[in-house]
Amino acid sequence: MDEIEKEPDEYTRLLKYIDYEAERARHGGDEGDEEEEEKEMRRLWYAPWKKVPVDAEGTKKVPQSWLETDMLKGLSEPEISNRRNRFGYNELESPRENPILKFISYFRGPILYVMELAVILAAGLRDWIDFGVIIGILALNAFVGWYQEKQAGDIVEQLKAGIAMKATVVRDGKEQVIEAREIVPGDIVVVEEGQTIPADGKILAAYDDKDRSKAKSILEKRDASKNGNNHSSRSSSPGREKKEQANGGPDSGDRKEGGQDDKGREDDDDGKEDKGPSVFSCDQSAITGESLAVDKYIGDTIYYTTGAKRGKVYMVVAETARQSFVGRTASLVTGSNTQGHFQKVMNSIGTTLLVLVVLWLLAIWIGGFFRHVLIATPSENNLLVYTLVMLIIGVPVGLPCVTTTTLAVGAAFLARRKAIVQKLTAIESLAGVDILCTDKTGTLTANQLSVHEPWAVEGVDLNWMLAVAVLASSHNIKSLDPIDKVTVVTLKDYPKAREILKEGWITHKFTPFDPVSKRITAQVEKDGKQYNVAKGAPNAILRLANPPRELQEAYRQRTQDYAKRGFRTLGVACQEQGGEWKILGLLPMFDPPRSDTAQTIAEAGELGVRVKMLTGDAVAIAIETCKQLALGTNVYDSQRLMTGGMSGSDVHDFVESADGFAEVAPEHKYQVVEMLQNRGHLTAMTGDGVNDAPSLKKADCGIAVEGASDAARSAADVVFLDEGLSTIITSIKVARQIFHRMKAYIVYRIALCLHLEIYLTLSMIILNETIRADLIVFIALFADLGTIAIAYDNAPHARAPVEWQLPKIWIISTILGLLLAGATWILRGTLFLSSGGIIQNWGSVQEILFLEVALTENWLIFVTRGAGTWPSWQLVGAILGIDIIASIFAIFGWISGSQPHNGHTDIVTVVRVWAFSFGVTVVLALVYFILNNIPWLDNIGRKKRGVKDKTREDFISNLRMVTLVHQRGGNGSEDIFRFEPQAEVAKGEEKKEQR
């Protein structure tokens, strides 16, 4: 380039520059571009020898050369593999975890660290039996937890695979249908009406324009007006694109003043560039909220998850799911690593138990010093052995495993019922939900519009009116609008109307719904006779026809009657041979409730869950639906949430007392959820669009309904693959059953820890005696091994929203632990009697204590699981198997060492221990029943819901009504910051725009 600039002759310099530009184009850029590309590369931290291109945000950037794919040939297999290695699959979900790293994660956590410390201590004491058994316990817990979670995950993956989106791509010169997740940047995708856009991309050409001459000329003309910038490299968003189009086309911001581009060419007379005809339109409501379809032209961007409404085009993929506009939006709400409520509860219990272990150890060491107990000798009674024993019994090593298994088994059960739990801890949240905010269409209703008692004007044949309504409908059966579909399907009950349509009609022109005229029109012909037919909003049809006053009044009265009943009404009109338009009648449409919805809502009320309807339909339609479903009819326009003029506290009261809101937008959903949470309610919310993602994330349990977008499913905790409310209520019941199992296990496990801590601490201090460490590790193993089966227990579901009530759990567990410790002391006391106490002929103190502790602790799970249902065969079988093994230990004196009779215990003594343990269990059951029926204890620790905090709510509401304004200081003065009402700021911005 420097040599070219040194050329003295102007034309020679110009010719050399042309050759240089041609060479640069062949190689994809000049040295400066290479330097710029080098600057946009970054090294991977985990593979510093590799570089990847990045954009300003530091995310992977698709090289421009990748987007220059031959439209009719597509990509080859080697190119596809290379691009997938760099950008991964075309999906929002994060990659699956490495199974090895996942397995290792089951050895991490405060409780597990204590057991790992016990492993080191056992090795130091050369107690190899304890060393091996503790490692076995850790490995068993890790394997069971990992396997159960993997099994649940596999079921979820299978279900997801069944609903995978498909896409038509051009590869190796052939069109082929693949899963959308297989798409890579640069792929040529064929998109047509009725489909979902599988990735962000640029429109290359209309499908029927395969020679691309027209598309090429349009693109060349557009590219010439962009200051030399490649349009396809611009980073844009749907909102920006919409604004640019409103101001003169997608690239109007690149033009210079005076209506000319940098080449001096003028724009078209209307101030817009010639983009050619619109070849495509898509529904971007899930992203931007706008209800109308957006027209797209050759070279325009179409966005991932939007719906194709018209046209069939070739698209080159510019960004796959995670790098797409929707993907970047979803990452804002899916990247949170905040600790869930369930983890907080588990950490609280684990931390408290660890603190108790430290306190018991402190008491043992202080008592040991007064009794002159040595630190490391003798081998069976020293402070280090006591420490090892307390570490083993003081922390429930199986707690993470059993809770994970219980949640995973429950998640697999829900998955079989078409409810995918994406986060296991969401089950605990779902069990405590007391308010369910649900949309109407497809959840409470069947999402199947039906025509209800059509009305024809006096003197008009009803069959003729229905036939005209069908003539004024789209005939593309692959992607019928819901209203057109119900109009066409209605004729199945009207055979005469079908006969009319068989009379040789020809459609010359069809004009889809126009939001300005609010009607659909068509020009049709039969037997040489011309007709214009129309279908649309009743008032629009009335203005079109302008009938006599009497007919107008009858028409309006009928329309009002339908509106009061919540029907969505369409007027039908016809014009023959250029004559006057005539009104033919009305089509009242209604989305009927699902057959099981009313019963399901009643069942939700019995479960203590209040259902609030949030719908985009009109208030009248929402109220009519509520009447049919026996829901409350206090349904209001959502605008009262924003502009009602109420104080913060009053708005909270309004939201809490309302039965639902109509004409809601996604921001209204978020506001409703937030206000209910401020009042202490655990709230579940349903949603399906990209804009619903923040509110789904905000809810205590976000639920993506059937047919939801990928962004909504990524943000949700639970994804439903089936329509209707019954699946949600079933999930709540199952979640409460799972919660019951976990709560029963936690009460049981805390009581076990306290049992041995209390007994052994007193035994060590008073008698300088303990149960041998090798027997203690088997007690710990039996406690966890048997109760893993609690995940399969036949648990009842609570009739009200559940919560942990940790103070109640600790009180009950402490009392049960004290009773267990007292029972063990009673048994130990009988062994001091001259008659031998519970021993009939012979028996070892260690084995007898071991058997009593094992039996009473195992049977305690039958107490804490409660009554109401019989225990499952899995739980009974596991506990019975553990009891038999424990009895064999006692009979044969396994690993007893030098004990009387080699540690053997006679059968009669074992039977006595079983009888004593059964009696202890009966007493525990009576005490547990009494404790759970004490009113004050039943309410302790229960969260108060619906609590009003007027000061806080008013403050937050007022704070939202002001904004911080920054005014730059001039002539060296300081910048000014001040608060102003948002309304005043908006007025100021409006005045600036007018100027």
DSSP state of 418: T
Position 758 scores a pLDDT of 93
Ordered DSSP codes for 755-811 = HHHHHHHHHHHHHS----HHHHHHHHHHHHHHHGGGGG------SS-----HHHHHH
683-687 vs 307-310, strand pairing mode: unpaired
Q: 881 Cβ partners below 8 Å, 6+ apart?
A: 786
Mean of the pLDDT values across residues 153-178?
75
* Cβ–Cβ under 8 Å, residues 841 and 906: yes
Which carries the bigger pLDDT value, residue 457 or residue 448? 457
Range in 89-103, 298-312, 465-479, 876-890 with the lowest mean pLDDT = 89-103
Looking at residue 347, which CATH number applies to its domain?
1.20.1110.10
Answer for the pair 847, 887: CB distance below 8 angstroms, yes or no: no
Q: What is the pLDDT of residue 70?
A: 83
Please tell me the least confidently modeled range out of 94-98, 117-121, 624-628, 738-742: 94-98
Give me the residue label for tokens 């033009």: 255
Do β-strands 435-438 and 610-614 pair in parallel, antiparallel, or remain unpaired? parallel
pLDDT at residue number 591: 79
Answer yes or no: do 630 and 753 share one domain. Answer: no
For residue 149, pLDDT beyond 60? yes
Query: At 680, which CATH number?
Result: 3.40.50.1000
Whether residue 866 sits in one domain with residue 814 = yes
Q: Are residues 836 and 708 in the same domain?
A: no
pLDDT of residue 392: 83
Return d(Cα 162, Cα 152) in angstroms, integer: 16
- Locate the DSSP E strands across 541-603: 568-576, 581-590
Q: How many CB atoms lie within 10 A of CB 846?
A: 22
Residue 197 maps to a domain: no
920 found inside a domain: yes
Which pLDDT value is given to residue 979? 52
Lowest mean pLDDT among 141-150, 671-680, 868-877: 141-150
> What is the pLDDT at residue 478?
62
* Domain edge (last residue) among 676, 693, 721: 721
Q: Which residue has the higher pLDDT, 366 or 422?
A: 366
Looking at the domain assignment, is residue 167 inside a domain? no
C-alpha pair distances (Å), 813 with each of 58, 174, 288, 741: 52, 68, 53, 15
Average pLDDT over residues 797-814: 91
Q: Which residue has the higher pLDDT, 616 or 204?
A: 204
Per-residue model confidence (pLDDT) at position 990: 52
Cis peptide before 378 (omega within 30 of 0): yes
Q: What's the mean per-residue pLDDT of the chain?
A: 77
Answer with the residue of higher pLDDT: 985 or 540. 540
Give the least confident one: 17-31, 724-738, 783-797, 814-828: 17-31
- pLDDT the model gives residue 776: 86
Q: Which domain holds residue 983?
A: 950-994
Is the predicted pLDDT of residue 904 greater than 50, yes or no?
Answer: yes
pLDDT tens-place string over residues 349-358: 888 888 888 8
Q: Of the spans 129-143, 320-334, 673-687, which averages the highest pLDDT?
A: 673-687
Residue 631 lies in a domain: yes
pLDDT, tens digit, 9 for 90 and up, residues 561-618: 887 777 888 899 999 888 889 999 999 988 788 888 888 888 989 999 999 988 877 7
950 confidence band (pLDDT: 50, 70, 90): low
Tokens 């008659």 sit at which residue?
835
> Residue 252: pLDDT band by 50, 70, 90 thresholds?
very low
User: Pairing relation of β-strands 718-720 and 701-704?
Assistant: parallel
Of 260-274, 839-853, 942-956, give the lowest mean pLDDT range.
260-274
Q: Does 638 lie in the same domain as 596?
A: yes
Inter-CA distances, 109 with 112, 354, 397, Å = 5, 12, 10
Of 680, 696, 721, the position where a domain reaches its end is: 721
CATH number of the domain encompassing residue 537 = 3.40.1110.10
CA distance 429 to 815: 28
Predicted confidence at residue 646, as pLDDT, reads 67
| 498 and 361 part of one domain | no
Total of domains in the chain:
5
Residue 84 lies in a domain: no
**Structural domain contains residue 965:** yes
Token pair recorded at residue 674: 């937030």
- 956 with 989, same domain: the answer is yes
Q: How confident is the model at residue 914 (pLDDT cuts 50, 70, 90)?
A: very high
Give the residue, 1 or 509, on which the prediction is more confident: 509
**Of the ranges 160-164, 397-401, 492-496, the best mean pLDDT one:** 492-496
Per the structure block, which two tokens stand in for 74?
A: 């597509």
> Residue 17: how many CB atoms within 10 A of its CB?
14
Q: How confident is the model at residue 38 (pLDDT cuts 50, 70, 90)?
A: very low
Report the range out of 86-95, 142-151, 447-456, 958-967 with the highest average pLDDT: 447-456
Q: Which of 290-299, 365-374, 457-466, 906-915 is predicted least confidently?
A: 290-299
The burial class, CB within 10 Å (0-12 / 13-18 / 19+), for 335 is: exposed
Residue 519 has pLDDT above 90, yes or no: no
Residues with a known catalytic role: 439
For residue 988, which amino acid is it?
Answer: G
pLDDT value at residue 263: 35
pLDDT band at 232; cut points 50, 70, 90: very low
Contact 504, 527 (CB under 8 A): yes
Q: Rounded CA gap, 386 and 368, in Å?
A: 10
- Residue 501: is it exposed, middle or buried by C-beta count within 10 angstroms (0-12/13-18/19+)? middle
pLDDT at 805 over 80: yes
Band (pLDDT 50/70/90 cuts) for residue 5 is low
What pLDDT, on the 0 to 100 scale, is given for residue 33? 43
Q: Which residue has the higher pLDDT, 232 or 454?
A: 454
Of 325-339, 675-689, 876-890, where does mean pLDDT reach its minimum? Answer: 325-339
Q: What is the pLDDT of residue 978?
A: 54
Report whether pLDDT(962) > 80: no
Say if residue 918 is in the same domain as residue 847.
Answer: yes
C-alpha to C-alpha distance for 569 and 922, rounded to whole angstroms? 68
Joined together, the tokens standing for residue 165 give 């989106």
- Show the CA angle centred on residue 613, arms to residues 643 and 624, nearest 5°: 100
Residue 745 shares a structural domain with residue 872: yes
Q: Is 20 a residue whose pLDDT tops 60?
A: no
Amino acid letter, 603: E
Buried b (16+ CB within 10 A) or exposed e, 530-543: ebbbbbbbbebbbe
Residue 163 pLDDT more than 70? no
- Residue 693 parent element (H or E): helix 693-698
The pLDDT assigned to 710 comes to 67
Region 188-201: mean pLDDT is 85
Final residue in a domain of this structure, among 667, 700, 721: 721
In angstroms, how far is CA 362 from the centroid of its own chain? 46
Report d(CA 521, CA 523) in Å as an integer.
7
Query: Which pLDDT value is given to residue 331?
Result: 63
Note the pLDDT of residue 55: 47
| Per-residue pLDDT at 376 | 77
Query: Are the CB atoms for 860 and 928 separated by under 8 Å?
Result: no
Lowest mean pLDDT among 245-259, 268-282, 638-652, 716-730: 245-259
Phi-psi bin for 459: left (phi > 0), alpha (psi -120 to 50), beta?
A: left
478 and 539 in a single domain? The answer is yes
pLDDT score of 909 more than 80: yes
Host H or E run for residue 115? helix 110-124
Q: 876 with 849, same domain?
A: yes
Closest CA relative to residue 573, chosen from 563, 562, 584: 584
Q: Is the pLDDT of residue 715 over 80?
A: no
Residue 627 shares a structural domain with residue 490 = no
Confidence of residue 234 (pLDDT cuts 50, 70, 90): very low
Tell whether omega for the bond before 53 is within 30 degrees of 0, i.e. cis.
Answer: no
> Does 777 reside within a domain?
yes
**Average pLDDT, stretch 49-77?**
70
Which residues have CB under 8 Å from 569's CB, separation 6+? Answer: 538, 559, 562, 563, 586, 587, 588, 589
**609, containing H or E segment:** none
Compute φ and ψ for 121, nearest 5 degrees: -65, -40
pLDDT exceeds 90 at position 277 = no
Residue 39: pLDDT over 90: no
Q: Is residue 47 part of a domain?
A: no
Determine the 3-state secondary structure of 137 from DSSP.
helix
Indicate if the pLDDT at residue 907 is higher than 50: yes
Cα angle for residues 955, 957, 962 (degrees, 5° grid): 95
Q: Are residues 600 and 583 in the same domain?
A: no
